[in-house]
Each structure stands twice: as structure tokens, then as C-alpha cells.
Amino acid sequence: MSQAKVVAHATAADLDLNDVEVLRLVHQAQEADIADHSLTIKQALKKYKKAVFWAMFLSTALIMEGYDLVIISSFYGQGQFQRRFGEQQPDGTYAIPASWQSGLSNSSVVGQLVGLFINGWTQDRFGCRPTMMFFLAWMCITIFGPVFATSLPLLAFGEAMCGVSWGVFQTLSTSYASEVVPTILRPYVTAYVCMCWGAGILFSSGVARAVLVIEGDWAWRLPFCLQWIWPVPLIIGVYFAPESPWNSVRRGKLEEARNSLVALRKRSGTDDTDIDATLAYIRHTTALEKAETAGSSFLECFRGTNLRRTEINMVVWAAQILCGNAILGFSIVFLQASGFSETQSFNVNISLSACYIVGGIICWFLMVRLGRATLYMGGLAFMFVCLIAIGGLGFAKSDKASLAVGILLVISTLCNMITVGPVCYPIVAETPSGRLRYKTIVIGRVVYNLTGIFSNSVTPRMISATSWGWGAKAGFFYAGTNLLCLIWCWFRLPETKDRTFGEIDILFENKIPARKFKYTKADQFVQNDDQRLEEAKGERKTEVDHSEFA
């Protein structure tokens, strides 16, 4: 097995400093890098508890997204909503046509696409806090649309307007969480982003079950009204939150970055030294990325080594749906198509939603031991087996077969939320370069939403008895897409466990294969002062030293 030791440096021009200042900054950056690697979880939590709090606080906005994305699909199986907006069937019952199920689910996704592109520009230009506060205020206004909708077209428009804010929150929360905490805490806070999304789903499942006893339109209007719980408290909290220091450095606001670093950590006697070293590390890493990516436009995400990073982001996001998770978005109608009654399907849906919280907690313990890629691929493999079994049960017509489908759906969901679901977030936060992080995550999330539009268009038709009528046999389709994702992961998904942003940059820049990422040592600092001085004079080097080890 081979080990590659990779070394790279920034020039004086990249840092906009003179030779002596570059030497001092590199020394400080190296000290910060060593300190970051030496932190234990307990030490990191003690020192950066404020950073953890703010990362988790901003992630709370995703509860709204998870809540509404599932609440609307739950209404497709709710009698009151069906009677208000559905079409009468030959047997006297009402149903929402599969075409409108797709349209309503996709309307919010279209809004999210708009929000994603807006965020890719505003977060780089104005910072995380102003962007977050503006779109939380936007959310307060747009909630009126779904609450007072009188027709399906108006409801779809209201969902699209709300989706703009969700598109912003999707990427902002992940990138902010990854940038304000040290390396060892990054998988916890980024996985927590997924848990917030799951908490919204659990909340919506409970609300959807509770309102079944309410007669009339308030059975579906009341759940929409509950979205007003979140925006105002979040706006107040975000106002007091520190800006991401990485974002501040990229916008050239060094004093703002320093103030953020002070606010994000526990005060101690060595504060000034630690903060200067951390700020130096951020500046050094940003300079390395600047040297590699001369611009920071969306087009740069598809050039050079950034193309590989963007590919990883896109596929890892898309696999969130293609792994079989698409069925869960329509779990109510899926369970009813498999033989469950209305009440039973809503009860099982609560169990499915609880998996998001339980699975996320289990993932915390597994991810730091197994790594991202191993856990991600293991989850895909297990879900593939579950989907094959669910598809096979679709040929059986009995109560026991329906029960087995429900059990397998819960098991598959729990597996998804231990592995693929939460592990996606640290992967997509860690693999982009810092200068292009927001834009790369935006592109990946756009692919996710486009995949969602595809699944929202075909999944209701697969499940619905009035359309293709596949029922549980839809499991076979997503088993196939799951397998394709698993094959791609084996060849293309690198392991980024315990890697700093700077190390990841060097590994990508030197085109290290995915399967060798885990065993390659990366050094973003020079080894002696003579070499530092040579680099400071503008002779930028990238050295790859290959050696053998047993």
C-alpha cells in the first residue's frame, strides 16, 4: 500500500503581505493546525461550546423545511384535505390526483431552486447573518399563502414562495455549522443539521395525526399556521449570532472575523494568541484556495480539481433521494396503497419520523469511528436489501404482507437516518474548497432538488392505484437507483474523516484517488524557514512525495 505525503503553500502575493509577515502568518497558521488536531471531543466542547450553540441554533431553521415538506404530502391521505381539493372517485370517496400530488410537492422544490441560487450570491456578498434574517422575514410573509389558499393552484404558488426561504436555509445552515467549529466537532454539528430536518418531519407527523379529529378546512390550515412559531424567535437569535469567520475573511473583513472568533470560544488567558493563530490559519487556507481557484463564480466549480469536488457534492445529495428515501416522502399514501387504513398509516408515519432523531444520535457515535465513506456506503447496501424485500412483498395481498412492508419501511428509514441521511451533511460541507463552498453546496442541492422533482413526479404515479398502481413494488425501482449510487461511491467517494479544510484542499489539488484519501498524509506548511522564505518570495511549490510503508 502506498502513502503520499503532500505539501503545498501560498505565496506572498496570494496573502497580500510582505515576506516577513508571510513567515509569521505561516508559523501562526501551523500552530493553529497542530492545536486543532490535538483537541479531544471533551476539550473542544468545553472551549467551543458557544460555537456549537450557534451552529445548532441556526440549524433550527431547517425544522421548518422538514415540517412543511412532509406535512403537504401527509395531506394527500387526509380525508378533510381530499374532500376540499380532491376529485370524487366512482366509489364516492375523494382523492388528490397523482398529477396534483406531483405538482404540489414540486412547487416548493422550484421555490427552493430559486432560493439556492440567491443564497449562492448573497451569502458571499453580505454574509450568513444578514442573509438568514432577511429570508426568515420573507418566510413570515409567505406563510399566508398556504394558510389561506382556496384552490390547488394558489396552494402550489404559496408553497413555491415559502420554498425560496427553505432553499436558502438548506445550504446556509450546513456551511455555517461546518465553519464555526473545530475539525473534531464538525461531523456532530453537520449531522445535527439533518436531525433538525428530521425533527420537523416528526413534528409534522404528530400534528398530521392530531388534526385527523378536526372537521373542515382547519384540519389542514392549522398545521400551516404552526409554521409561524419559528421565524420571529430565530430572527432575534440570529441578530446576536457571530458571523462565520471564514466568510468574513473571504469578504476581506479581518476585524469582523477576529470578533467572531472571540465570540465563538471560551475566554482564557491565551485568547489573543489562540485567536491570532486561528485567524492566520483561515487566511492561509483561503490564500491556498485562492491560488487554486482564481475566481469564485459558479463556473469555477466546474474547472480543474473543483469539478471533482462538485461531482461529489451533486451525487451525494442526489443519493439522498435515489437511495430509496423518495418513498418516505410519500409514506402515508405508500402505506395506504400497501393495505394500511388511514389511521394506521398516520400512526406508522410517526414511527418513521422518530427514526430521524434516534438514527441521528446513533450516527454521532458511529461516524467518528467508522468515517463518512464507510458508513455512507454501508447504509446504501443495507437499504438496497430492504428495498428488494419491500418490492417482493408487493406481489403478496395479505395483512401479514402489509405489516411486513410497514416493518421494513421503519427498518430502512432507521438505517437511512443512521447512515446516508446525516453522513451526507459533513461530506458536502467538507469536500468543496472554502472559496467555493457555498456555491458548490448550492449546485449539489440544486441537483438534489431536481432529483426531487423527478421523484415527486414518478413516485405518486408508481404508488397510486389510479395511475401506475405499483404499490410496494416501487421498491424495485429505487433498489436499482440505490445500486447505481453504491457503485459510484466505491470508485469516487473519498474519506474525509479527521481532515482539516486545508488538508482536504491539498489532497484534491494533487488528485489523490478516493480509495487512497484515508491513507495519504497532507502537509500544507513548509518544513523549514529557508523553504518558507523561498515560497514567500513568490515561488509557489506543490510537492508530492510518494513512499512505501507496510
Whichever domain contains 481, its CATH number is 1.20.1250.20
User: What residues make up the domain containing 62?
Assistant: 39-241+293-492
Q: How far is 312 from 428, CA to CA, in rounded Å?
A: 8
Q: Are residues 414 and 519 in the same domain?
A: no
What is the per-residue pLDDT for 467? Answer: 67
What is the per-residue pLDDT for 282? Answer: 81
Report residues of the chain scoring pLDDT below 50. 1-15, 17-18, 269-270, 526-550
What is the per-residue pLDDT for 12? Answer: 44
Q: Are residues 527 and 453 in the same domain?
A: no
Q: How far is 316 from 523, CA to CA, in rounded Å?
A: 27
Measured over the CA atoms of residue 499, residue 504, residue 507 and residue 511, the dihedral's sign is positive
pLDDT (tens digit, 9 = 90+) per residue, 485-504? 999 999 999 998 878 777 88
Q: Are residues 75 and 138 in the same domain?
A: yes
Q: Is residue 267 part of a domain?
A: no
> In a 3-state reduction of DSSP, which class is residue 544?
strand
Q: How far is 348 from 278, CA to CA, in rounded Å?
A: 48
pLDDT (tens digit, 9 = 90+) per residue, 395-446? 877 777 777 877 787 788 888 888 998 888 889 888 888 778 878 888 998 8
- Please state whether 528 falls in left (phi above 0), alpha (psi between -120 and 50) or beta: beta
Cell numbers for 205: 407527523
What is the per-residue pLDDT for 296? Answer: 63
Q: Which of 474, 492, 510 is the last residue of a domain?
A: 492
What is the per-residue pLDDT for 294? Answer: 52
Q: Is residue 31 part of a domain?
A: no
Q: How many domains is the chain built from?
A: 2
**pTM of full prediction above 0.85:** no
Q: Are residues 441 and 348 in the same domain?
A: yes
Q: Are residues 410 and 515 in the same domain?
A: no
Residue 545 CB-density burial (10 A; 0-12 exposed, 13-18 middle, 19+ buried)? exposed
Q: Are residues 137 and 87 in the same domain?
A: yes
Q: How far is 404 from 351, CA to CA, in rounded Å?
A: 15
Q: Is residue 322 part of a domain?
A: yes
Contact 425, 356 (CB under 8 A): no
